C-alpha cells in the first residue's frame, strides 16, 4: 500500500492564522527552512494506485488535493480517483473539508454511528451535502473489518480508540467507543499492516495488541508535553483534556511504546510542539526514541 500524507498538522495548521508563537513565526517566514509549514490532518491511501481513499477531510483539502494531482482521474475532463472518505472522528479539522468535495459524485462516507450523529445534528455537514453531491453513509464499528470495493487488496479494521469527541458533540462528556477510531489497515498483496491513530488519549491493551502486530505506526503527534498549551493560552487545557496523549514523561507515548521496534511516525502535530524545530533538544530525544515526524507530502510504502 502507498500512504501519502496530505496534512500533518493538528487543528489550526502551521502557521495558525492568529498565532505569533516562535513556531508559527518561523513557518511563516519563507526565508528559513528549519520549520516547514503544515496543513491539517489527513492522509490518502491506495493499494494499486488506481483508486484511493482519504482518511479525514481537512479544512485545507482544496490546497492539499491541488498539490497532489495524481488523484485526478486520468484522461477525463473531470473526475477523481478518490472513491471514499473514512473518518476517524467528527473533529472540525477532520471533517470541514467534506463541504469542499461537493462538486464531485455522491460522497461515499465511512464513519461510526457516533460520528454520523454529530455530522447530521450539531454539525450537520451531511444534511447540507444532500443538496449538492449527496452522501452515502457506510456504517463502521470497532472490531468489524470492512473493505472499500474499489480497493480490493486492503482490509480496514476500526479500533475503538480512547480520545475525546469534539467540544460541540453531545458525547463530549459521555464518551462512547465509536467517537474516535484508530485503524489497522492490512494489504493482502504485500502482507503489511499500517496502524493509523491520529487521536489517542490512552493506549489500552486492545490498541496495544494491534500496535504490536503492525509494520508501521502512524500516531497522534499532537503534544510533546501535557502542559504544552499553557504557554499559549489561559485558561488552558491539559493534553489529556483535549483527548491526546503527550509523548514525553514517564507515562507518555514514548515510554509506553518503548518495546515496539517498527517504524513510528507522528502525525497531527500541534503548532505549539517544540519538536517541530529540528534544532530542539526535544526533537533529538524523539529521534533517539525511534520516532519520526510526518510532513506534508511524505509517502510511506508498505
Ligand atoms: C483536536 O484534535 O484536539 C482538535 O483538532 C482540536 C481543535 O479542534 O482545535
Ligand atoms: Mn485535531
Ligand atoms: Zn503558533
Give the integer Cα–Cα distance in Å for 159 and 144: 8
Q: Which residue, chain included where needed, has cell 483535549?
A: 242
Q: What separation in Å is there between the alpha carbon of 19 and the centre of ligand 3?
A: 4
Give the integer Cα–Cα distance in Å for 157 and 181: 9
Q: Which residue, chain included where needed, has cell 462516507?
A: 109
Ligand positioned closest to the Cα atom of 167: 1
Q: What separation in Å is there between the alpha carbon of 12 and the centre of ligand 2?
A: 8
Q: Whose Cα sits closest to atom 7 in ligand 1?
A: 11
Give me the number of domains the chain comprises. 1
Give the integer Cα–Cα distance in Å for 101 and 103: 6
Q: pLDDT tens for residues 24-79?
A: 999 999 888 889 999 999 999 999 999 999 999 999 999 999 999 999 999 999 99
The continuous run of DSSP H or E covering 276 comes out as: none
Measured in degrees and rounded to the nearest 5, phi and psi for residue 128 equal -65, -40
Q: pLDDT tens for residues 251-295?
A: 999 999 999 999 999 999 999 999 999 999 999 999 999 999 999
Q: Tell me 199's DSSP state.
A: -
What CATH number corresponds to the domain at position 108? 3.60.15.10
Q: Whose Cα sits closest to atom 9 in ligand 1?
A: 11
For residue 284, the tally of other CB atoms under 10 A from its CB is: 12
Give the integer Cα–Cα distance in Å for 244 and 238: 9
What average pLDDT does the structure give for the chain? 96
Give the integer Cα–Cα distance in Å for 165 and 122: 12
Q: What separation in Å is there between the alpha carbon of 8 and the centre of ligand 1?
A: 13
Q: By residue range, what is the domain housing residue 8?
A: 2-301
Q: Whose Cα sits closest to atom 4 in ligand 1?
A: 11
The continuous run of DSSP H or E covering 3 comes out as: strand 2-7
Amino acid at each position: 500500500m502507498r500512504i501519502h500524507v496530505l496534512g500533518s498538522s493538528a487543528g489550526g495548521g502551521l502557521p495558525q492564522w492568529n498565532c505569533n508563537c516562535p513556531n508559527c513565526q518561523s513557518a511563516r517566514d519563507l526565508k528559513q527552512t528549519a520549520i516547514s509549514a503544515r496543513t491539517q490532518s489527513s492522509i490518502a491511501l491506495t493499494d494499486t494506485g488506481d483508486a484511493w481513499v482519504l482518511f479525514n477531510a481537512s479544512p485545507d483539502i482544496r490546497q492539499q488535493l491541488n498539490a497532489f494531482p495524481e488523484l485526478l482521474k486520468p484522461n477525463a475532463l473531470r473526475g477523481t480517483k478518490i472513491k471514499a472518505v473514512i473518518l476517524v472522528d467528527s473533529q472540525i479539522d477532520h471533517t470541514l473539508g467534506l463541504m469542499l468535495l461537493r462538486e464531485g459524485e455522491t460522497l461515499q462516507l465511512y464513519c461510526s454511528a457516533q460520528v454520523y450523529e454529530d455530522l447530521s445534528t450539531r454539525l450537520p455537514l451531511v444534511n447540507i451535502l444532500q443538496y449538492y453531491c449527496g452522501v452515502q453513509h457506510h456504517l463502521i464499528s470497532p472490531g468489524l473489518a470492512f473493505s472499500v470495493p474499489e480497493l480490493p487488496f486492503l482490509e480496514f479494521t476500526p479500533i475503538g480508540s480512547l480520545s475525546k469527541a469534539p467540544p460541540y458533540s453531545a458525547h463530549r462528556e459521555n464518551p462512547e467507543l465509536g467517537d474516535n477510531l484508530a485503524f489497522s489497515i492490512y494489504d493482502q498483496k504485500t502482507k503489511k499492516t499500517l496502524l493509523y491513530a491520529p487521536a489517542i488519549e490512552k493506549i489500552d491493551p486492545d490498541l496495544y495488541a494491534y500496535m504490536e502486530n503492525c509494520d508501521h505506526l502512524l500516531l497522534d503527534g499532537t503534544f510533546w508535553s501535557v502542559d504544552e498549551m499553557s504557554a499559549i493560552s489561559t485558561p488552558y487545557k491539559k493534553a489529556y483534556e483535549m483527548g491526546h496523549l503527550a509523548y514525553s514523561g514517564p507515562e507518555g507515548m514514548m515510554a509506553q511504546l518503548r518495546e515496539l521496534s517498527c517504524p513510528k511516525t507522528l502525525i497531527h502535530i500541534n503548532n505549539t510542539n517544540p519538536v517541530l524545530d529540528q534544532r530542539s533538544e526535544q526533537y533529538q530525544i524523539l529521534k533517539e526514541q525511534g520516532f519520526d515526524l510526518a510532513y506534508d507530502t511524505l509517502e510511506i510504502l508498505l
